[in-house]
Structure formats: C-alpha cells, structure tokens
Amino acid sequence: MTQPTRLSILISCGLFAMGSPMSGHGAPDRPHIVLIMADDLGWSDIGCYGGEIPTPSLDQLANEGLRFTQFYNNAVCGPTRASLLTGLYCQQVGHSGAHWNQPKDFSKCVTISEVLQRAGYHTAMVGKWQGRDLAVNRGFDHFFGPNCQGKISYFDAVVDNDFFLDDQPWNDRGDDFYMTHAFSDFAVEFLDEHLGSEAGKDQPMFLYLAYVAPHWPLHAKPAEIAPHRERYRSRGWNAWRDERLEKQRSLGLIPADWGMLPFPAGIKPWSDDPWHDWQAERMAVYSAQVAAIDRGVGQVLETLKLHDAERDTLVIFLSDNGAAPDGGLVPHPSGLGFSPADPKPNWRRDGVAISPGSGPDHMPGSANTFAAYGLAWATVSNTPFRSTKLTAYEGGIRTPLIARWPSVITKQGAITSQVGHVIDLMPTLLELAGADYPIPFDDRLPLPMEGVSLRPVFTSQGKPLPMERTLAWSAPRNQAIRQGNWKLVNEKRGLPWQLFDLEADGTESTDLASEHPERVATMAKAFADWQKHVGEE
C-alpha cells in the first residue's frame, strides 16, 4: 500500500484528522503541550510501573492521567528522537536504526516543532539535542542544552558537547552544577516566562524536555545517592525483580499468568555475588538519577499549577529505549572508552582525567568516574520483559508512557492496552494543535507521517482503538515486526525468525514459529516489504 493511500484510509477512519478546525488560539481548544523524555529508563523503573525507586511526581502524573502498557520506541536514542521529531520511521530520514545520531535526509522530513511554531505555538526545548543544526534552527523559539555528539558528564563541560542557550554558547556553570537539575530549572524558566506573560494568555506553548538521565555515566550528588544505598545493600537483583513483577500484576499492568525468563547467562544469584556493596552502589546512583528526573517533573507540574494551566495542558512522559546493559558484571579497570592506558585527559574542558573502571575500590557517582550499572540491574529495570536497549525484544523497545490532560482525560489512573509508537506522537500533537502538516514545507518535500493520532484513546479514557497495528523495527542487534498480537523477531540479524503471541506471552518466553510456519512466512514477507517502504539499506 502506498503512503498516500494509507493516509487517506487513516483520515476516512477518523484516526488522523490533521488541520481540523479549532476555535481560538488558547487552551483547551489548543492545549499547552509538555513532552518529557527520559534516556535509557527501563519499563519498570518508576513506581507507577512497578518500581521501588521513589518517584512521587511521576506516580502523581499517572494517578491523574493515563498509562499505556504497550507503547513502543526504536530501541536506541537517536532513532527514537528522529521518529518523535518527524512522525516517520527513523530509516526514512537517513537512519539505519543502529546509530545514535539525528536525521540526515532533511529533504524528507519536517519537525514537530517547525509545524507547531508555524501554527502559532510558542516552542521551547531543553535537554538532549543531537542534530547538525541547532534546535533554534529547527522550529524551537528557545533552547537550552548540549549539542550532544559524544560522551557526556553530568557535572563538567565536555569538549565535544557544547552547551547552548538559544543560539549562543553557554558556560555559566557554578560549583553546584548538575545537568539534570539544570535542565529542570531551564524548563521551569521557559514555562514561567511564557505562561506568565501577556502573550501566554492566548498563545499555547509546546515544551520538549529531553533528559539525558539515567543514561550512563553513573553521576549523582552524594546527598542524593545516600537515600537509595541501603535499599540495594539489603536486597539484590533477584528480590527486586520478583517484587517488581508482583507489583505490576497487582497494579493491572500485566496479566497474572505471564511467565518471566530467568536472568541472562552469566548473572549470578545475588546471594553468590561477592561484591554486594559495589553492586548496590551502582543501582543506588542510578536510582538517584531517576529520582532527579522525578524531581524535575514535579517542578514542571508545580509551575503549571502556579499559572493555573494544569487543566488545559497535555503532559506526556516516556523513555527513548529500554535500560542499557553496559557496565559489566564484575569489577573492571577499564570500560566505556576509558582505560589506564588511555584515560583521555583532554575530553573534559578543565583537563581533569577520568579515573577509568569501576569496582569496590572505585565506586561510581563522582565527576571523575565513568561507569554504568550492568546487565543484572538492567534486567531488573526492564522487568518483566526480555532483553535490553539495542534489541527489538520487548525489553529494548517497550516504554512506559503516561499522559495527563485533566480537561480531556477525566478517568484518573486509567490504564490502556492500546498499541502505540513514538511515530504516533507527532500526528497526535498536530491534531490537538489544529496544525496542518504542510507538503511541501519551505524547500522540503517531507514524506507523509507514518503514525496515527492517539486522541481517540485520550477521549475514550484509555479504551483501545478498534484497529490492529502493524509496526516494524530494525534495531542495532536484531529486527522485528508486530501484526496485531503476533510478533516476529530474529535473535540476531539473519538468524531464523522467532514467533511470539504477545497477548498470551508478552515476555517472549515461548517461540511458536514451528507451530505456525505460514504465519512466519507471511510476516517475514511483510517485514521485507516494510524494509523497501522505509528505504532500509
């Protein structure tokens, strides 16, 4: 099916109504929009998805809004952001799906910020930007953050990651600088400036807040690590994974009869691991990074409340991929590009070298460390799903997604099993904004968007749409296609396909390929057609 035909079908079904007439320029006809993305956050890391890390602000957001249980990203940061910003599969704008960088083929895409800006929205972005152009040249009126092109530090300036405020270099760090808190503070500042102004009374605002946390390195302030330390010293990864699973069942996030795969090979039971304090410290720092995001979300919610904008603001929170497996299972003298022989003394602007590696005598957290928390804790983060970031298994591509919009999503604490994808965010938000998707756009001829508007899910208080989605992924380590509740995935590119029934077996525990060879052949053909459609090399 060609894209124009597909688009016309979506319009006729009422699932993709761009440019629909809306009255006025302010909320609720055109709501303020706050889109918040975490980086490398696992599906179960926050409290409202089963986690033990205290996240009161995100839990509040969920209790007052809607949680998705089947929402997808692209398994790695750059490809997910490419789809979020353009409404296209990442391959359509120059990605293979295997890289972190931003779109390369600008002639085929237009960004959500450019369309909303042209439709009269005040637009601002804070956080992780990976584009060739500065964010203010891609539709954002304001921007704060790094032009993230390599390794980062939460505390210090890095040579290849210049910070910008709008289009000017920014180096106004004090001794207390911590990147996640700085992002939250600037997000609040941009909201305050607009919502508190005369223009803000009539002009809706779009804020895209893209945290780097909890992506490695494990960096956090000592006082913010301390509250989490004993939680993991007293109980390890086996106990916390089991507890998360039981909480997810009790919350109604997953069916009670789903199984869960054992830990990957090489991970010892917690009782047999000889480095409890070090392993616990890794998870404690990670938890502090997650808690810092939650603190920022709380600041944003308080700012909306201060300006009496809560009711008519759509707030969306999600992650760019599953938890990352990096960091090793045992103490190590090197890692993540740093080693005693190559400490890279010139990567920080202050010239201070990283002390490479991590272990009991070299705990993570401080500015001169560069570590990650490892596959065991990443498996906990992705409870109950299989695998991690970089893969097309559910642990790599399924993300928590919370949406709160009090004037429309009136059933508080609702949970929806609607299948959604990051490609749906742009058509959803443009419909809510009453914004046309222009083809052409200036000197560009962008492709029609691939996603569908999720507004009907919001207005139905979470009930699934009467449709079966076909979605596909070409992730760094493997590939997959989902049609309805069936999912075809290969363990590695080129290996035989595995087939899973996600309704009965969402944790991908039982391969049914040998029982359904015709379905495997049909779906494999559909995947090959998708590859041609998106221009995958």
Give me the tens of pLDDT residue by residue for the chain, a chain 537 residues long: 333 333 332 322 323 333 333 333 343 589 999 999 999 999 999 999 999 999 999 999 999 999 999 999 999 999 999 999 999 999 999 887 776 555 566 678 999 999 999 999 999 999 999 777 889 999 999 999 988 766 789 998 888 778 999 999 998 888 899 999 999 999 999 999 999 999 998 999 999 999 999 999 999 999 999 999 999 999 999 999 999 999 999 999 999 999 999 999 999 999 999 999 999 999 999 999 999 999 999 999 999 999 999 999 999 999 999 999 999 999 999 999 999 998 888 888 888 889 999 999 999 999 999 999 999 999 999 999 999 999 999 999 999 999 999 999 999 999 999 999 999 999 999 999 999 998 899 989 999 999 999 999 999 988 888 888 999 999 999 999 999 999 999 999 989 999 999 999 999 999 999 999 999 999 999 999 999 999 986
User: What was the pLDDT predicted at 394?
Assistant: 98
HEC sequence for 145-165: EEECCCCCCCCCCECCECEEE
Answer yes or no: are the C-beta atoms of 75 and 250 closer than 8 Å.
no
Q: Fold for domain 478-537?
A: Arylsulfatase, C-terminal domain (3.30.1120)
Which of helix, strand or coil describes residue 233? helix
* Sequence-distant (≥ 6) Cβ neighbours of residue 1 within 8 angstroms: none
Alpha carbons 313 and 209: distance in angstroms, whole number: 15
Q: How far apart are CA 376 and CA 390, in angstroms?
A: 16
Name the residue among 117, 79, 92 with its Cα closest to residue 433: 117
The topology (CATH level 3) of 15-468 is Alkaline Phosphatase, subunit A (3.40.720)
Tell me the domain boundaries of the chain. Answer: 15-468, 478-537
DSSP 291-360: HHHHHHHHHHHHHHHHTT-STTEEEEEEESSS---TT-SS-BS-BTTBBTTB--TTSBTT-PPP---BBT
Q: Are strands 313-319 and 32-38 parallel, antiparallel or unpaired?
A: parallel
Question: Starting from the edge strand earliest in sequence, which strands make up the sheet with 470-474, in order?
Answer: 470-474, 479-483, 486-490, 497-501
Q: How many CA atoms lie within 13 A of 475 on its CB side?
A: 34
Angle, alpha carbons 117-120-121 (nearest 5°): 60
Q: Which residue has the tokens 């790695």?
A: 76
Query: Alpha-carbon distance 453 to 114, whole Å?
Result: 18
- Spell out the residues 6+ positions from residue 226 whose beta carbon is closer than 8 angstroms to its own: none
H runs (alpha helix) in 410-467:
425-433, 455-459
